[in-house]
Copies of this chain bind each other. A is one copy, B any other.
Amino acid sequence: MIDLPQVVKEAVSVLGKLPGVGEKSALRMVTAMTKWRLEDLQKFSKATGSLVNLNECEECGMWTDEKICSLCLDPKRADANVLCVVEQVSDLLAIEKSGQFKGRFLVLGGVLNPLLGIGPDQLRINKLLDIVGLHKTQVVVLALNPSIEGDATCAYIKHVLPNEISVERIGFGMPIGGSLEYLDPMTIGKALENRKSF
């Protein structure tokens, strides 16, 4: 293999750290970027570097320009006693896009993962307990992804929350527009388990 210039190697290496980008895609990106105008390349570099300045809402962990985000300040939500717990901001955005949830949010910042050294202290578990106390939350909806770590995190949160709070997990089943034929057995199992009177 040809020895590529150092600038190319470094760009491939950093782009390859993005999710879903391997060495081949990174090289494709570099190829495209070499054709960009100078100002576009500078804009790219500046905009990505500026993510350092991104602020998290002190209440819920959502990205914001202020101390407290617009969701937390929204009076129609502020007094809602339903709190939805998500792993990361993009999950919050996905739920918000559905328009089906009108309560408050809490961004956990990850899920418990002992192998990666992520324990309760690395997550916003304490903040969750604060908020639940402060806003007299009655229902906590766990919207964590179904995985071993997600399941364990749900169990942990249920354990640390006061008993009088109703803890629920989002429903699992067949996705709308899905096809039974292509669905994995685990999901079909969940869909059968979660059937409802019709």
Interface of A is mostly: helix
Query: Does any Cβ of B come within 8 Å of A4's Cβ?
Result: yes
CB neighbours (8 Å) of A93 from chain B are: 1-2, 4, 27
Query: Does any Cβ of B come within 8 Å of A159's Cβ?
Result: no
Sorting the interface of chain A by its residue count into under 10, 10 to 19, 20 to 34 or 35 or more gives: 35 or more
Of the A-B pairs whose beta carbons lie under 8 Å apart in the complex, a sample of 23, sorted by A's number, is A2-B70, A2-B71, A2-B93, A2-B96, A4-B63, A5-B63, A7-B47, A7-B51, A8-B51, A8-B54, A11-B48, A11-B50, A13-B47, A14-B43, A14-B48, A15-B18, A19-B29, A33-B48, A34-B89, A35-B110, A38-B52, A44-B49, A48-B48
Beyond A5-B64, A18-B29, A31-B88, 8 extra complex contacts between A and B, CB < 8 Å:
A1-B97, A5-B65, A6-B65, A7-B51, A11-B50, A14-B43, A17-B40, A27-B93
Which residue of chain B is the closest to A4 with respect to CB atoms? B63
Contact with B along A28-64 (1 / 0, CB 8 A): 1111111110101111111111111111000000011
A32–B28 Cα distance when bound, in Å, is 20
Task: Report the copy number of this chain in the oligomer.
Answer: 2
On whether A20 and B31 interact (CB within 8 A), knowing A42-B49, A45-B49, A63-B4, the answer reads no
Query: Does any Cβ of B come within 8 Å of A168's Cβ?
Result: no
